[in-house]
Amino acid sequence: MENVTLKRSLGLWAIVGLGLGYMTPTIVFDTFGIVSKETNGVVPLAYITALIVMLFTAISYGKMVKVFPNAGSAYTYTRETMNPHLGFLVGWAALLDYLLLPMVNALIIRIYMVSVFPNVPSWIWVVAYVAAVTGINVWSMGKTSNMNTILVAFELVLIAAFLVLAIVQFSHGMGKGTVITFDPLYHSGVRLSAVLTGATVVCFSFIGFDAVTMYAEEAKDPKIMPKAIMLTVFIGGAVFFIASYFAQALFPDVSHFKNTDDTLPEIGLYVGGTLFKLLFISGAFAATVASGLASHASVSRLLYVMGRNGVLPKRWFGYVHPKFRTPAWNVILVGLVSLLAITPSLELISSFINFGALIAFTFVNLSVVAFFVFRKKRYKTAKDVFSYLVMPAGAVVAKEEVFKSWFPNPFMHTTTFGGNPLACAAAIATIGVLIEGKLPERAAACGEYFLNGLKEAAKGHEDIVQEVRGKGLMIGVEFHSDELGYEVAKGMFDGGVLVAGTLINSKTLRFEPALTISYEEVDQVIRTFKHVLSQVKA
């Protein structure tokens, strides 16, 4: 039977629309108060700074998608240019970004709906929203794209209406009283450090252009992908800059706002009255749904590629529905994860997303250096040095103060960043030994030998042993009762072999030796296991 693949149904503007939907254009109004206070009234300058940095990374994505026109994004590029194991780690880190963002959108929807309908249980909104987004994504990528396009168009129309209303307010003397002013870009109170801090906040408004690469295998022509990436960044950056410029000219400082953490409703009220405020809020709602559709679709493709490559179980994660031509099981799994939005906080989830995005962006830029400089030797001209070394390096190098502003509360990640210098040095040395000694490959071969030996030893003792299973050198033997497992563990210990239960359960024993175990030692364990089984009574 022919393998079912993703359907190539997306044109250039459909992919750009998905990227813009992921980026959520109206977020510029949500974060305006926070960034304006941080930058002392130069939000557009912060967006320009962020755009320049993001363009460097976008160019790196464009270069890599030309070389590897497959879904998978940062995971694929790292895997193909550096090391499959490193790609695996980057893939998991990127999942923090891609997998949690659909949950964030569900959480925002919950917050919106609870504010309007406080007497309705919040979990109902989460379940209804997740079911709708999951259903559309399972049904068809084309339907997902069409729905996203409608929602993004609605957002852009509302932003255009804001610009028109802002011009009207300027004519009435509001704010700076004119469209043409340099104050939103520079004034005597501007400090570079404050602008850079503000830029790190708005940088994450650009999350989404990287997800565009997830649709590489559904593009009608893979050659459009670099153009789609750059258009997404340029259009998104232009919308952010123009909207923030008009907002900053209307509101030179944050004293106009009662709540600087969420200024969108008040901006809508000031420029267009109650009706436009309601429309503006509905635009933000539409933006959240669009972002939910696009982020749900993109993470499903990342899981699909990792499954197809055997990093995740292929039968589930590498599955494509034969009729809908979508990674249906992955879409459903992401929906189930999104249901966790019933309980967690927005701040905590957002911090994990920042971490995942940072890792993905960093390794895409490093992939450019690894592929073009080290593999292709593209460093012999000044143009090559700038394109393949200076630009990607410039996208990942930053001051410590800038990095800290992305993670203001380190106690949110006490285990993510856990480990003192000695433990970290030991971990790095261990990874080196694993790679240089090819221990994962050895564990796979020896583990298969070990597993087959234990299964052979268990033959004739089906009344004692229920199942022998495992992967590599982590093998589990399940017995019919806790008592049988305990008896076997005791017998193995008496024979000089140490095995462990599973948490507090002795029904399943773990055989997990050192990766350097010899085949002679494996044979000894198998002989001991066979002997103990002959002594134990069911």
Q: Name the amino acid, one letter, at 79.
A: R
Dihedral sign, Cα of residue 454, residue 456, residue 458, residue 463: positive
* Largest Cα span, the chain: 95
The vertex-58 CA angle with 54 and 62, nearest 5°, equals 175
Express each pLDDT in 334-365 by its tens digit: 999 888 877 655 555 655 566 677 778 888 88
Parts of the chain belonging to CATH 3.90.1150.10: 439-535
Tell me, what's the pLDDT at 413?
A: 47
Separation between Cα atoms, residue 341 and residue 460, nearest integer Å: 49
Parts of the chain belonging to CATH 1.20.1740.10: 12-396
The token pair that represents 99 in the structure block: 């997998």
Find the mean pLDDT for residues 291-316: 88
**Where does the pLDDT of residue 414 fall: very low under 50, low under 70, confident under 90, or very high at 90 and above?**
very low
Pairing verdict, β 500-502 and 474-479: unpaired
Express each pLDDT in 101-159 by its tens digit: 888 888 888 877 887 788 888 889 999 999 999 999 999 898 999 999 999 999 999 99
DSSP per residue, 106-144: HHHHHHHHHHH-TTS-HHHHHHHHHHHHHHHHHH-HHHH
DSSP per residue, 414-479: TTTT---HHHHHHHHHHHHHHHHTTHHHHHHHHHHHHHHHHHHHHTT-TTTEEEEEEETTEEEEEE
Tell me, what's the pLDDT at 412?
A: 46
Separation between Cα atoms, residue 455 and residue 163, nearest integer Å: 72
DSSP per residue, 326-368: S-HHHHHHHHHHHGGGGS--HHHHHHHHHHHHHHHHHHHHHHH
* Backbone Cα Rg of the chain: 27
Separation between Cα atoms, residue 82 and residue 80, nearest integer Å: 6
Chain mean pLDDT for the chain = 85
Express each pLDDT in 489-532 by its tens digit: 999 999 999 998 876 677 899 999 999 999 999 999 999 999 99
**Where does the pLDDT of residue 87 fall: very low under 50, low under 70, confident under 90, or very high at 90 and above?**
confident
Say if residues 184 and 42 touch (Cβ distance below 8 Å). Answer: yes
Instruction: Name the more confident of 203 and 152.
Output: 152
Tell me, what's the pLDDT at 1?
A: 39
Instruction: Name the more confident of 91 and 83.
Output: 83
pTM across the whole model: 0.67
Tell me, what's the pLDDT at 209?
A: 75
Find the mean pLDDT for residues 366-388: 89
Place of tokens 């960044």: 233
Which CATH superfamily is 12-396 part of? Amino acid/polyamine transporter I (1.20.1740.10)
CA atoms within 13 A on the CB side of 49: 22
User: Right CATH number for 439-535 from 3.40.50.1220, 2.130.10.10, 3.90.1150.10, 3.40.50.300?
Assistant: 3.90.1150.10
Query: pLDDT > 70: what percent of the chain?
Result: 91
DSSP 3-state of 499: coil
